[in-house]
Structure 1
Amino acid sequence: MTIETVSKARACGGTQGVYTHASSATGTPMTFSVYVPPHDEGETLPVVWYLSGLTCTHANVTDKGDYRRACAELGLILVAPDTSPRGDGVADDPAYDMGQGAGFYVDATQAPWTPHFRMWTYVTEELPALVGAHFPADMTRQSIMGHSMGGHGALTIGLTFADRFRAMSAFAPIVAPGQVPWGEKALGGYLGDDPAAWRAHDAVALIEDGARVPALLVDQGDADQFLADQLQPQRLADACRAAGIDLTLRLQPGYDHSYYFIATFMPDHLRWHAERLR
């Protein structure tokens, strides 16, 4: 399991790196970023996974997420993978919400996506093994967060592997992809036409089917242009209430779907994760 360093920079006393490797899960090169805060020799640190949204790469949060100072203060490693396989020979779609940049954190079962679109396996198996092998990571202390499509990924992965992740949070997540246009298109395209096959990748459906975690934190801007049609956080609130899950859902006045919103509340989320990763 080898990785190549694309870049490294000193930041807030730690190191911000970007790395690439040949992925066996996707059959393509994959790029990811890792911030390692200042730490003592031999010390291992908890890991926060950040999953990005539609059209993004690892670079969006790395460049605009404003997480390094909080991670340095709290002693958190932050890992940001890409959102899909990319490159020549990788299937794509002209629309922004399908194909490259829109992997939806699933393992595709339908042509033409099957050969490379295996982001579930990549994020839950292959990349954690790489991070554990190459960085001072305490893999017994992991948490997960994400934005929009990445919020969907964080919620579904966190609910599925509740024994692995001590904390979960999201910014403007797609909470019920089986019931909104983005998700219906993507899950239908990647997993086929049977909605029953989508339930394993739908946070609300997972909770309805018995998945449980102690608590969730979700921030949502009330000026988000996708709020009514695509995000619908009330569906998550209703599912958590019925299941007895402690959901903190904060509707933030005046905030939209952008990284200005994420950067504003990122320190809150990281502190929330750090409390549960001690």
Structure 2
Amino acid sequence: MAGKFEITSEIASFGGKILKLTHESAVLRCKMAVNLYLPPNQGKVPVLFYLSGLTCTGDNCLEKGFLQAHASKLGIAIVYPDTSPRGLGIPGEDESWDFGTGAGFYIDALKEPFKGSYNMYSYINDELQQQLFSEFDQLDSSRISLSGHSMGGHGALTIFLKNPGKYKSVSAFAPISNPINCPWGQKAFAGYLGDDQQEWAKHDATELMKKYSGPKPAILIDVGTGDNFYKQKQLLPEHLEDAAKSVGWDVQVRYQPNYDHSYFFVSTFGADHIAHAAKFLGTNSTL
């Protein structure tokens, strides 16, 4: 046991190391697993939080996205958290793949029986960061960026927009960009937040962007045109594009021909997203 974290294994990767960690979360009321990639640099390093999508854990992108290959060259640490509390035994949390376990949506639940434990927003934005920066001196708490995939892209965008100035940059792979208008978001928000759609809008990147007041760094978003969820109108990146244009924000949405929703897509464009974060995190190296 090292401080608040137990290091369950240490794995060499691209000159740096992966620390597989567990810790007790007060806000989620359970033990959580998290992966931390430390680049080979000495001294303080900036930090990218990568938020994963529906059904994923903190292992999926670590093992299939290979972001640490690029982060190693640029001197960036990556945190890969989990996507929900685990093993709470709440009725209904394991009945479907897009709600409950593995589907925390990076919000704080207001509706029972999820209220009081499904608090992924507070976990990512507050508790996990406080514990990591307290435990690992090499992590620079003044230089943090966000990225994520699908539900995690939604999480990265909304956490960025809710905290003006806290994060240096944000990017996303195939984000759920307008959840109040897609089936995934409507199901999750009804289950976690209740029926008040004004409350839903507080957790929607498209709606938050329209009212945002703070620094506006360029945002990079990639979406595959072969992504079935894009075709099914679950992602709605065009709605986010319209909101960005209405407020004069440089949001680059790149529609990548033929790419799907998988980690083949994420790994293909991962270098671009790490480089995007590096521009704002102030690293001295280049890919």
So what's the TM-score if we normalise by structure 2?
Answer: 0.94
Q: Aligned pair 1:86/2:86, yes or no?
A: yes
Q: Name structure 2 gaps, 5 residues minimum.
A: 283-287
Which of 223, 227, 230 lines up with 1:224 in the alignment?
227
- 1:243: which partner in 2? 247
Q: Who is 1:261 aligned against?
A: 265
For residues 98 and 178 of structure 1, what CA distance do their matches in structure 2 show?
A: 15
Does the CA contact (< 8 Å) of 1:26 and 1:118 recur in 2?
A: yes
**Residue 144 of structure 2: aligned partner:** 142
Q: Which residue in the other structure is 1:115 paired with?
A: 116
- Report the identity percentage: 43
The answer to whether the 8 Å contact 1:50/1:145 transfers is yes
Partner of 1:184: 186
**1:90: Cα distance to partner?**
3.8
Unaligned segments of structure 1, at least 5 residues: none
Deviation at residue 88 of structure 1 after TM alignment: 4.3
Q: What is the letter of the counterpart of residue 230 of structure 2? A: L
Counterpart amino acid of 1:30?
M
Q: Deviations over 1:97-136 (max 9, x none)?
A: 1000000001101011113101011000000011101221
**Whole-Å separation in 2 of the counterparts to 1:27 and 1:216:** 33
Moved over 3 A (4+): none
Render the CA deviation track for 1:27-64: whole Å, top value 9, x for unaligned.
Answer: 10011000000012xx1100000000000000101111
Supply the distance in 2 between the matched residues of 1:147 and 1:211 (Cα, whole angstroms).
Answer: 25
* Number of equivalenced pairs: 276
Instruction: Tell me, in whole angstroms, the C-alpha distance in 1 between the residues paired with 2:170 and 2:94.
Output: 31
Counting only pairs closer than 5 Å after superposition, residues 1-278 of structure 1 correspond to structure 2 as 2-40=4-42, 43-91=43-91, 92-135=93-136, 136-212=138-214, 213-228=216-231, 229-278=233-282
Inter-partner Cα distance in structure 2 for 1:214 and 1:115: 33
1:130-152: CA deviation from partner (whole Å, max 9, x where unpaired): 11012211110000000000000
The one-letter amino acid paired with 1:223 is G
2:129 partner letter: P
- 2:30, 2:88 within 8 Å by CA — same for their partners in 1? no
Cα drift, residue 267 of structure 1: 0.7
How much has 1:211 moved relative to structure 2?
Answer: 4.4
Scaled by the length of structure 1, what TM-score is found? 0.97
User: Aligned-pair RMSD on alpha carbons?
Assistant: 1.1
